Chains A and B, each alone.
Chain A
Amino acid sequence: MSAARRAGDVILSVQDVSLAFGGVRALQEVSFDVCEHEIRAIIGPNGAGKSSMLNVLNGVYHPQQGKIRLRNKEFADMDSHQAADLGIARTFQNIALFKGMSVLDNLMTGRNLKMRCNFLQQALWLGPAKREELEHRRAVEEIIDFLEIQHIRKTPVGRLPYGLQKRVELGRALAAEPAVLLLDEPMAGMNLEEKRDMCRFILDVNDHYGTTIVLIEHDMGVVMDISDRVVVLDYGRKIADGSPDEVRGNQSVVDAYLGVAH
Chain B
Amino acid sequence: MSGELTGLDTFPKLLMHHARARGDRPAIREKDLGIWQTWTWAQFAEQVRLCACGLAAQGLRRGSHIALISDNRPRLYAAMAAAQCLGAIPVPLYQDAVAAEMVFPIQNAEIGFAFAEDQEQVDKLLEILPQCLSLKRIYYDDPRGMRHYAQPELMAYEKLIELGREAHRRDPSFVENEIASGAGDDTAAMFFTSGTTGVPKGVVHSHASLIGPSLTAARLDRLGEGDVILAYLPPAWIGQNIFSCAQAFVTGYCICCPESAETVMTDMREIGPTYYFAPPRVLENLLTQVSIRMEDASRLKRWLYRRFMDVANRVGGAILDGKPVPALDRGLYWLGDLVVYGPLRNVIGMSRVKVGYTAGEAIGPDLFKFYRSIGINLKQLYGSTETAVFVCVQPDGQVKADTAGPAVPGVELRFTPERELLIRSPGLFREYYKNPEATRQAKDPEGWFHTGDAGYFDQDGHVKIIDRVKDVGRLADGTLFAPKYLENKLKFFPYIREAVCFGDARDKVCAFINIDPEAIGNWAERRNMPYSGYTDLSARDEVYELVRECIERVNADLSAEPEIANSQIHRFLILHKELEADDGELTRTRKVRRGFIGEKYGELVSALYAGKTSVHVEAQVRYEDGRTGTYSADLKIRDAKVFTPAASQRAA
Please list the residues of chain A having a beta carbon within 8 angstroms of any beta carbon in chain B. Answer: 4, 137-138, 141-142, 144-145, 148, 150-151, 153-154, 204, 207-208
Contact = CB atoms under 8 A, between A and B. Distances in A.
B148 A137 contact: no
B323 to A, nearest CB: 41
Nearest to B35: A141
A225 to B, nearest CB: 17
Q: Which of A144, A148, A150, A208 has the most CB of B within 10 A?
A: A150
Interface of B: 31, 33-35, 144-145, 147-148, 259-260, 262-263, 266
Contact of A151 (B33, B145, B148, B266): B266
A142 B33 CA distance: 6
B33 A204 contact: no
A150 B260 contact: yes
A135 to B, nearest CB: 12
Given A4-B148, A151-B266, A204-B145, A137 B34 contact: yes
A55 to B, nearest CB: 33
Contact of B34 (A4, A144, A204, A208): A144
Contacts of B145: 204, 207
A141 B262 contact: no
B33 A145 contact: yes
Nearest to B262: A151
B34 A153 contact: yes
Nearest to A104: B34
Given A4-B148, A151-B266, A204-B145, A141 B33 contact: yes
Nearest to B261: A151
Contacts of A154: 266
A145 B144 CA distance: 11
A150 B148 contact: no
Given A4-B148, A151-B266, A204-B145, A141 B260 contact: no
A150 B33 CA distance: 9
28 contacts: A4-B148, A137-B34, A138-B33, A141-B33, A141-B34, A141-B35, A142-B33, A144-B33, A144-B34, A145-B33, A148-B260, A150-B31, A150-B34, A150-B259, A150-B260, A150-B262, A150-B263, A151-B259, A151-B260, A151-B262, A151-B263, A151-B266, A153-B34, A154-B266, A204-B145, A207-B145, A207-B147, A208-B144
Contacts of B260: 148, 150-151
A94 to B, nearest CB: 27
Given A4-B148, A144-B33, A207-B147, 5 more contacts: A141-B34, A150-B260, A151-B260, A153-B34, A154-B266
B210 to A, nearest CB: 32
A237 to B, nearest CB: 39
Nearest to A139: B33
Q: Which of A4, A141, A145, A151 has the most CB of B within 10 A?
A: A151
Q: Which of B31, B34, B259 has the most CB of A within 10 A?
A: B34
A142 B32 CA distance: 9
Contacts of A153: 34
Nearest to A151: B262
Nearest to B33: A141
- By DSSP majority rule, is chain A's interface helix, strand, loop, or mixed? helix
A148 B118 CA distance: 14
A6 B148 CA distance: 13
Nearest to A138: B33
5 shortest interchain CB distances as A-B pairs: A151-B262, A141-B33, A141-B34, A151-B263, A150-B259
A157 B167 CA distance: 50
Contacts of B263: 150-151
A224 B348 CA distance: 46
A138 B262 CA distance: 21
A126 to B, nearest CB: 22
Contacts of B259: 150-151
Nearest to B148: A4
Contacts of B262: 150-151
A258 B15 CA distance: 65
A141 B33 CA distance: 5
Contacts of A204: 145
A42 B128 CA distance: 40
A228 to B, nearest CB: 16
B146 to A, nearest CB: 11
B289 to A, nearest CB: 14
Nearest to A142: B33
Contacts of A141: 33-35
Contacts of A148: 260
A134 to B, nearest CB: 10
Contacts of A151: 259-260, 262-263, 266
A154 B148 CA distance: 34
Contacts of A138: 33
Contacts of A137: 34
B262 to A, nearest CB: 3
Contacts of B33: 138, 141-142, 144-145
A4 B150 CA distance: 12
Contacts of B31: 150
Nearest to B31: A150
A154 B260 CA distance: 15
A207 B31 CA distance: 26
A153 B33 CA distance: 11
A204 B33 CA distance: 18
A138 B32 CA distance: 10
A145 B33 CA distance: 7
A2 to B, nearest CB: 12
Contacts of A145: 33
B141 to A, nearest CB: 14
B389 to A, nearest CB: 29
Nearest to A155: B266
A162 to B, nearest CB: 18
A82 to B, nearest CB: 32
Nearest to A154: B266
A154 B34 CA distance: 11
B100 to A, nearest CB: 22
Contacts of A150: 31, 34, 259-260, 262-263
Contacts of B148: 4
Nearest to A204: B145
Nearest to B259: A150
Contacts of A208: 144
A151 B266 CA distance: 8
Nearest to B264: A151
A57 to B, nearest CB: 29
Nearest to A148: B260
A133 B519 CA distance: 51
A154 B259 CA distance: 14
A208 B145 CA distance: 8
